[in-house]
Amino acid sequence: METKKINDFPNDFLWGSSSASFQCEGASREDGKGLSVMDVRKIDPSICDFSVASDHYHRYKEDIALMKEMGLKAYRFSIAWTRIFPEGNGQVNEKGVAFYNDLIDELIKADITPIVTIYHFDYPLGLVKQYGGWLDRRSIDDYVNYAEFLFKTYGDRVKYWLTINEQDHVVHMPFRLGFECEDRKEAEKLGYLANHHMCVAAAKAIGKCHEIVKGGKIGPATCYTMFYPTTNSPADMLACMDANEIRNLYHLDMNIKGEYSPVFRRYLEDRDMMPEVYEGDMEVMKENRPDFLAFNYYYSESVSANPCDENHPIGDIGFKLLPSREAGIYQVVKNENLKATLWGWEIDDIGLQCSARQLWDRYHLPLLITENGFGNKEVWPEEGILEDDDRIDYLSKHLHQIKEAMNLGVEFIGYCSWSFMDLISGHSGFSKRYGFVYVNRDEHDLKDLARRKKKSFYWYKDTIAENGKNI
Ligand code: BGP
């Protein structure tokens, strides 16, 4: 709504930026690191693998110096599980432990608050080989042991922790769980089994964090898609509500309220996908409530009703990487009101305010944006600097919607853009850049990997210095 007055950002607002280990570190087989499912992912030969990435492993000091120059208040990064436990469990790799000690110390020296994601897609291949990874209940203890090790080792300096990045995406992507499955229905069923194990594991880790880390705060980092009904037909509204339940809220209700929502349970039971719930599982979730809710926000989706017919019975799903239509529930439709990125992600800053308000209403937990950014194809010009005005426009408009949401009572801890430096995109290699800092390499030509400040670097620097007065 329009208001007469809008409050400033609070003085302790965490102005941050994000990355993930496998997308920026490189050194994927160095210093004793074990393999993760991302290291062995089958990749289209036209895009790069994750072996060098932005070479952050070797250049983290230079990168943190740039963060300091920018005045960044927080840096959200993930720890590569397989640097700490090369096989996912068992033997500890001291060199990996030392790397993150150094990285965290360097951040603290630069007055930057570390926000650590315990696990961001790069699941240990060792655990997949040992027992099938997240599909087996043993995965719960191995995740909890790993998290406990991190809390004990780094918890004296790291106070903000994220349990699992985008569990809602991992569930639908078998390659991120470490298996291949042609049968999509079977893959979905296995995905929801993994989802259950992840929820139990995350809840137990929350308990450990509260026990071990003095003043520690921990929460899930989900990806939130804002859903709209395509028309004002009540059937589209229903499709929208249902899409929101089965794409966004299902695991958050487990993570935060310790329950399968009635809608999600019916959805799973109808499709014979309800996982086995052991005694005590739901209690563990109920007893270990997160301190905040982090979410990644990139786009919204418009949906319309999608009734079943003879050829499309219940259970018939279409995918565009993520589910894009489900018979009897919804189908995604292009939103004619919005422009999109080169990859078709519909740009919707207002959707961020809507998302924040929906999440606040349902869970009443302080919110933290852990990812939000504009992916683009970029080439450093022969003269001058790269003027990434589209990115500045995207980020400032999204930040403005956070300000609007806060003005209406939503609590926010901070905002981490995706990403600080250019890094490898989850699906599109190095050609899709998000950073404030340009990394001089191409898809296959590593060049000199030099760091160069884009125009957005200076814009974010000013924004932080003014505590968002320009937003
Ligand atoms: C999120 C992931 C990030 C990052 C981002 C951008 O889903 O958590 O790891 O990849 O999306 O996506 P992409 O790289 O596919 O453009």
**DSSP string for 380-442:** --SSS----HHHHHHHHHHHHHHHHHHHTT--EEEEEEE-SB---BTTTBTTSB--SEEE---
Q: 425 CA distance to ligand 1 centroid (A)?
A: 6
Q: Tell which one of 36, 343, 418, 443 to mutate to probe ligand 1, the residue whose CB is within 8 A of the most ligand atoms.
A: 418
pLDDT for the residue 39? 94
Residue 317's DSSP bridge partners are 326
User: Which is nearest to 371 in space by CA: 225, 228, 174, 271?
Assistant: 225
Q: 418 CA distance to ligand 1 centroid (A)?
A: 8
- Measure CA 5 to chain center: 33
Residue 446 burial class via C-beta count within 10 angstroms: exposed 0-12, middle 13-18, buried 19 and up: middle
Residue nearest atom 3 in ligand 1 by C-alpha distance: 426
Could you give the 3-state DSSP secondary structure of residue 235?
Answer: helix
Q: Tell which one of 36, 117, 425, 434 to mutate to probe ligand 1, the residue whose CB is within 8 A of the most ligand atoms.
A: 425
Q: 228 CA distance to ligand 1 centroid (A)?
A: 22
* Residues within 6 Å of ligand 1 by CB: 20, 23, 165-166, 169, 223, 296, 371, 375, 418, 425-428, 432
pLDDT for the residue 260? 98
Strand blocks (E) in 131-230: 160-165, 217-223, 226-229
pLDDT for the residue 393? 98
Q: 313 CA distance to ligand 1 centroid (A)?
A: 32
Residue nearest atom 4 in ligand 1 by C-alpha distance: 426
Amino acid letter at 24? C
pLDDT in 10s for each residue of the chain, 471 residues = 999 999 999 999 999 999 999 999 999 999 999 999 999 988 888 999 999 999 999 999 999 999 999 999 999 999 999 999 999 999 999 999 999 999 999 999 999 999 999 999 999 999 999 999 999 999 999 999 999 999 999 999 999 999 999 999 999 999 999 998 889 999 999 999 999 999 999 999 999 999 999 999 999 999 999 999 999 999 999 999 999 999 999 999 999 999 999 999 999 999 999 999 999 999 999 999 999 999 999 999 999 999 999 999 999 999 988 999 999 999 999 999 999 999 999 999 999 999 999 999 999 999 999 999 999 999 999 999 999 999 999 999 999 999 999 999 999 999 999 999 999 999 899 999 999 999 999 999 999 999 999 999 999 999 999 999 999
pLDDT for the residue 320? 87
pLDDT for the residue 42? 86
Count CA atoms within 13 Å of residue 347 on its CB side: 17
The torsion angle over the Cα atoms of residues 186, 192, 197 and 199, rounded to 10 degrees, is 170
pLDDT for the residue 237? 98
pLDDT for the residue 182? 87
Q: Tell which one of 371, 424, 432 to mutate to probe ligand 1, the residue whose CB is within 8 A of the most ligand atoms.
A: 371
pLDDT for the residue 196? 98
Question: Among all chains, which residue has been given the structure tokens 């003043």?
Answer: 215
Residue 222 burial class via C-beta count within 10 angstroms: exposed 0-12, middle 13-18, buried 19 and up: buried
Q: Which domains does the chain have, with CATH numbers?
A: 14-302+338-465 (3.20.20.80)
- Measure CA 434 to chain center: 14
Q: 308 CA distance to ligand 1 centroid (A)?
A: 32
Contact 70, 156 (CB under 8 A): no
- Give catalytic residue positions: 166, 371
Phi, psi of 303 (to 5 degrees): -130, 155
pLDDT for the residue 268? 97
Residue nearest atom 12 in ligand 1 by C-alpha distance: 426
Residue 161's DSSP bridge partners are 116, 218
Q: What is the pTM of this model?
A: 0.97
